[in-house]
Amino acid sequence: MITVGLTGSIATGKSEAAKLFSTAGIPVFDSDAEVHELYAAKATIDAIGKLFPDVVVDGKIDRQRLGQQVLTSPEEVKKLEALIHPLVKKSKERFISHWQKQNCPLVVLDIPLLYETGADHELDYVIVVSANEDVLKKRAMARPGMTQDKLARILARQMPDSEKRSRADFIIENSGSMEQLRSQVVALSKRLAELAGKHRP
């Protein structure tokens, strides 16, 4: 089985690409969804509450408060990541193990900070979803609660798109329509299936 990472900067359409890979019949691990589940678990709530007492409201993590608190401080981001990343990694390993047992030829791992966390070294291939700067900013600013300052801080945490592209095995250009995105994902799904076939013993 081959493991394929899927990443991209904010608002490039990575999540849409992930859905299309799933529609094509490829198992997709969604790191963001996993983080959402972890944030709902009591053990995680308690651990985050010790680090950031103000972000637990009525026994739940207020993600907006948490985001506001950590985005302004690289040190706070590191504290949160040191807690969350190992838990997500364990879930990812369970996901891969499950599909290996099913003799699945390939899986896609949707990881927003893939290069930033060094996860690319554990994967067979990496796909980067890319969009031009104007499209990216327009999409990002259309999100609820987004501001120019917040977007700048998010982008500062992410590897530049140009560097991601230079390191990628495959690039999905997503500055156009949904149909253009879909056709690229379908073609790439077939290509990955061929590569997975070559990896089989």
Collapsing DSSP states into helix, strand and coil, what is residue 36?
helix
Tens place of pLDDT per residue across the chain (201 aa)? 999 999 999 999 999 999 999 999 999 999 999 999 999 999 999 999 999 999 999 999 998 889 888 877 888 888 999 999 999 999 999 999 999 999 999 999 999 999 998 999 999 999 999 999 999 999 999 999 899 998 998 898 899 999 999 999 999 999 999 999 999 999 999 999 999 998 765
State the CATH number of the domain containing residue 139: 3.40.50.300
Question: Domain end: 70, 103, 136, which one?
Answer: 103
Question: Domain end: 73, 103, 133, which one?
Answer: 103
Sheet with strand 170-173: strands edge to edge: 28-30, 106-110, 2-7, 125-130, 170-173
Question: Domain end: 103, 130, 158, which one?
Answer: 103
- The answer to whether residues 55 and 72 belong to one domain is yes
Calpha distance 6→110 (Å, rounded): 5
| Stated pTM of the model | 0.91
Domain residue limits at 121: 1-27+104-201
The total number of residues written for the chain in this structure: 201
Question: Up-side HSE of residue 188: CA atoms within 13 Å toward CB?
Answer: 27
| DSSP letter assigned to residue 59 | T
